[in-house]
Amino acid sequence: MKVAMYYNNNDVRIEEMPVPDIGEEEILVKVKASGICGSDVMEWYRIKKAPLVLGHEITGEIVKIGNKVKDFVEGDRVFVSHHVPCDECKFCLNDQHTLCNTLRSTNFYPGGFSEYIRVPKINVEKGTFLLPNEISYEEGVFIEPLACVVRGLRIAGFERKKSVLIIGSGITGLLHIKLLKAMKAKRIFAVDINEYRMKKAREFGADLVMHAEDDIIKKIRDENNGYLADMVVTCTGSPSAVLQAVDAVEKGGMILLFAPTQPGIKIPIHIFELWNKGVTVTSTYAGSPKDIKEAIEILKSRKIRVDDMITHRLPIEKAQLGFQIVAKAENSIKVIIEP
C-alpha cells in the first residue's frame, strides 16, 4: 500500500509498505479521507520522530475484522480516534481524560496518510465510532478537531450570551467561531494577520474581525458597550497572542490557551494585571470520547456545517503539496488527503 512518509514539511515521500496484518481483536480500515492538521506541520514537534506516517483526522471503511470483534462488521463506515484513554486512572476518573498516559501513548498504525490502517484492540473498543449516513467521509475528518473545540469550551465554562475573542483564525479558530455562533455567543470577535482568513472569519459568523496590528482594545470596547471580551481563546501559538489575550480579557473573564507555543518559550506576563482583574487562565489538549460523541452529533444534526471549510482535496501522491499548503497558511483552511 502507499503511504506518505514524513521527513519534514518539505520532504514527504510516497513509499510502499505492506498492508498491516490484524489480530483477532483488531480491525483493518481503508482510509477514505484524512485531514492535514496544523499540528502535522509543527516541525519542532514532528521532526524529532521522523520519518513517520502522520495523519490522525481520518474516516474510512472497515474492510477486515478480527474473529473476536463483536461491535463492528465489514463495510461499516467509521471515524477512528488515534488517542484513547484508559478510563481507570485518576485523570480519567476526574473527567481529565486527555491527561491520561494511555491516551497520550495510543495510536493506530501506521498513520492516517496511508491507504489502510490497523486499529489496535483498545482503539477498537474506545476510539472507533460509526459514521452516521448524514456525515460524509470528508465532513468526518472534522470530528477530531471539532471534539478538541468542544472540550476546550466546556473546560473554559463558556456560557450563552458571553462575548468571546478568538485570536488566530486558522481551522481551529474558525471552528470556534462556527460553534460559538451556534451556541448563541453574545458577540464574537476575531483576530488574524492573514486577509484570507479574516475574510473567512467574517463569512463564518464573527461580528468583528480585526488585524492583529489594529487597536484591538478600542475596537472591542466600541463594539461591546465599553467592555472587553468575557472569554479569550488563543488559537495560535504566537507569544504575542498570549499577551494580547491578557490585555483583551474583561475583569472576571477567562483565557483559554488552546494552541501551544514551542517548548521552552517563556512569556513575560504582568501577573498583577491577571490578579487584579480576577482572570482565570486554563488550557486544553485533544478531545475525549465524550467530546467526540458530541462532535459527531453536532455534525449529524447540522448544528454547524463544515463542508464550506474544505479548500483542497488531494490524492495521496500529492501529500507533499498538501503539507506545503498547510505550512504556508495562506489561502487554505482544511486540506484533505484522499488515499
Residue 48: predicted pLDDT: 85
The full DSSP string for 261-307 is PPTT------HHHHHHHT-EEEE--S--HHHHHHHHHHHHTTSS--G
Q: Which amino acid is at 116?
A: Y
19 and 123 part of one domain: yes
227 and 333 part of one domain: no
DSSP code of 91?
H
277 and 294 part of one domain: no
Please check whether residue 152 lies inside any domain of the structure: no
Residue 138: predicted pLDDT: 98
The pTM of the full predicted model, rounded to 2 decimals, is: 0.95
Residue 331: predicted pLDDT: 92
Please check whether residue 25 lies inside any domain of the structure: yes
Last residue of a domain, one of 242, 257, 283: 283
Strands 163-167 and 187-192: parallel
Residue 93: predicted pLDDT: 97
Which structural domain, as residue segments, surrounds residue 240? 157-283
Report residues of the chain scoring pLDDT below 50.
none
**124-156 pLDDT, tens per residue?**
999 999 999 999 999 999 999 999 999 999 999
252 and 325 part of one domain: no
CATH no. for residue 55?
3.90.180.10
Could you tell me the three cell numbers for 289? 470520547
**89-122 pLDDT, tens per residue?**
999 999 999 999 999 999 999 999 999 999 999 9
B/e letters for 162-180, b = 16+ CB within 10 Å, e = fewer, are bbbbbbbbbbbbbbbbbbb
Please check whether residue 151 lies inside any domain of the structure: no
Last residue of a domain, one of 267, 283, 299: 283
CATH no. for residue 207?
3.40.50.720
220 and 190 part of one domain: yes
Please check whether residue 172 lies inside any domain of the structure: yes
Domain count of the fold of the chain: 2
Please check whether residue 300 lies inside any domain of the structure: yes
83 and 141 part of one domain: yes
Strands 2-8 and 280-283: unpaired
The contacts of residue 148 (CB under 8 Å, 6+ apart) are 172, 258, 284, 286, 287, 291
